[in-house]
Amino acid sequence: MLVDSTNKLAPVGAPRTSNPLYGDRKLKLATFGSNIKSGCAITSGEGALPGDWPTSLRIARLADAMEFEAIVPVGRFRGVGGETDYGGTSFEPYTFAAALASQTEHPMLFSTSHVPTIHPILAAKQGATIDHVSGGRFALNIVTGWNKIEIDMFGVPMLEHDTRYDCAAEWLEIVKRLWTEDEPFDYEGRFYKVAKALLKPQPLQSPHPPVMCAGGSPKGRHFAAKYCDIVFTGFERRATKDDMAKSVESFREIARTDYGREIKVWSSISSPVGVPIRWSAPPSRSATACSCCRMPAWTAWSYRGRAMRVALSNSHRRSCRS
CB-based contact 28:63 (threshold 8 Å): no
Nearest to 232 by CA among 64, 32, 80, 20: 32
Contact 231, 225 (CB under 8 A): yes
The whole-number pLDDT of residue 84 equals: 84
Q: Cα–Cα distance between 122 and 297 in angstroms, integer?
A: 34
8 Å CB contact between 133 and 101: yes
* Distance (Å, whole) CA 27 – CA 3: 6
Longest pairwise C-alpha distance within the chain? 62
| 3-state class (DSSP) for residue 151 | helix
> Would you tell me the crossing angle of helices 53-65 and 93-101 to the nearest 10 degrees?
50
Please state, in angstroms and rounded to a whole number, the distance separating the CA atoms of residues 134 and 19: 10
Backbone phi and psi for residue 173, each to the nearest 5 degrees, phi listed first? -60, -45
Comparing 277 with 108, the larger pLDDT belongs to 108
Q: How confident is the model at residue 293 (pLDDT cuts 50, 70, 90)?
A: very low
End-to-end CA separation in angstroms for the chain: 23
Q: Is the pLDDT of residue 122 over 80?
A: yes
Residue 105's pLDDT band (cuts 50, 70, 90): very high
Residue-level pLDDT at 17 = 64
Predicted confidence band of residue 16 (pLDDT cuts 50, 70, 90): low
Superfamily assignment of 2-270 in CATH? Answer: Luciferase-like domain (3.20.20.30)
| Closest C-alpha to 192, from 180, 178, 165, 174 | 174
Instruction: For 302-313, write each residue's pLDDT tens digit.
Output: 333 333 333 333
Cβ atoms of residues 278 and 316 within 8 Å: yes
For the entire predicted model, the pTM comes to 0.79
Q: Which residue type does 231 have? A: V
pLDDT per position as a tens digit, 138-172: 999 999 988 899 999 999 999 999 999 999 999 99
Query: Is pLDDT at 214 greater than 60 in this prediction?
Result: yes
164 vs 25, higher pLDDT:
164
Three-point CA angle 267, 28, 278, nearest 5°: 95
- Determine the residue type at 101: A
Helix (H, G, I), strand (E, B) or coil at 115: helix
Cβ count near 19 (within 10 Å): 24
Single-letter code of the amino acid located at 268: S
> 74 forms bridges with which residues in the sheet?
none
Burial zone of 193 (CB within 10 Å; 0-12 exposed, 13-18 middle, 19+ buried)? exposed
Residues 130 and 138 sit within 8 Å (Cβ to Cβ): yes
CA–chain centroid gap for 240, Å, is 25
Q: Give the start-to-end residue ranges of the domains of the chain.
A: 2-270, 275-322
How far lies 84's CA from each of 38, 65, 89, 274, in Å?
A: 9, 31, 10, 15
> Using CA of residue 36, residue 53, residue 61, residue 135, what is the dihedral sign?
positive
pLDDT level of residue 129 (50, 70, 90 thresholds)? very high
Given a contact cutoff of 8 angstroms between Cβ atoms, the answer to whether 112 and 127 are in contact is no
Residue 20 has pLDDT above 90, yes or no: no
Predicted pLDDT at 46: 78
pLDDT of residue 274: 45
Q: Residue 196 is inside which H or E element, if any?
A: strand 193-197
